Structure 1
Amino acid sequence: MVGGFSKSAPRFLRCDLCVTECGSYVNLTLFLPNRKKLTNSRRHHLKSLILGIAASWLEQEKKEAIAAKEAHMAEHCPKADTSGDHATLMETCKKLHALIDQLDEERYDTEAKVMKGDIERRH
């Protein structure tokens, strides 16, 4: 045994990790207890391992988000039927434009109500 550990037993270093995402980069800070001193190479190695794990987690989250979006779109937005003649497609486009106009009006009304409420709360 060396320093309380057998040579074959893995040594685990207890540390606190602070990961903050700032725009397009991740700030990684490794907080170690004062009683354990690490060499710069060991600290760099630990940070690179943790960054590798964090990168795989972020990649997995992105894949899950894409899958959830595709599932939501498949459930709520069926594929448009583009088969048919020109007149049918024009009618479908007119219906879609009417729906878009209605949604824009509702969005504008809701935005106006929110702005009015914000102004009243400030005064």
Structure 2
Amino acid sequence: MFENKLTKKQIMRLIAILQVIIAGIYYYINRPNADSISIIIYLAISFLFFGMSFSKRLTAGKTIKKADMTKNQKFEQKLELFGLGIALFSIVINFSDWSSELLFMDCCLIDLLMSPMPDRTTAK
């Protein structure tokens, strides 16, 4: 499918920024009745990923090149793109209340940024 050319630190910091943006969108959509717990959870996940980006243990290792991907890893990326497509399609269908689709879209975007995960059969 596609190769992620970012380092693992950059990916984790990008996910942290994405969580802050999603929290802002959620607050903007539900402004009069915004659930503060959901916003706090998004921001806590953001701080968690930002903090983890400084860990040498979590950011060590190389990213997987496109030529080295297995069929399972390519299929995983296709499923994540399909899930993101479903989330965007459901937003188009039910545009009046799309705050419920933010969590699903957020999970799909995080999976796409973190993919492909190392395959257990080829991991050493």
Q: Please tell me the TM-score bracket, short chain as reference.
A: under 0.3
Q: What TM-score do you get using the length of structure 1 for normalisation?
A: 0.27
Relative to total residues, which structure has the larger strand share, 1 or 2? 1
Q: What TM-score do you get using the length of structure 2 for normalisation?
A: 0.26
With a CA cutoff of 8 Å and minimum separation of 6, indicate the structure with the bigger relative contact order. Answer: 2
Relative to total residues, which structure has the larger helix share, 1 or 2? 2
Rg larger in structure: 1
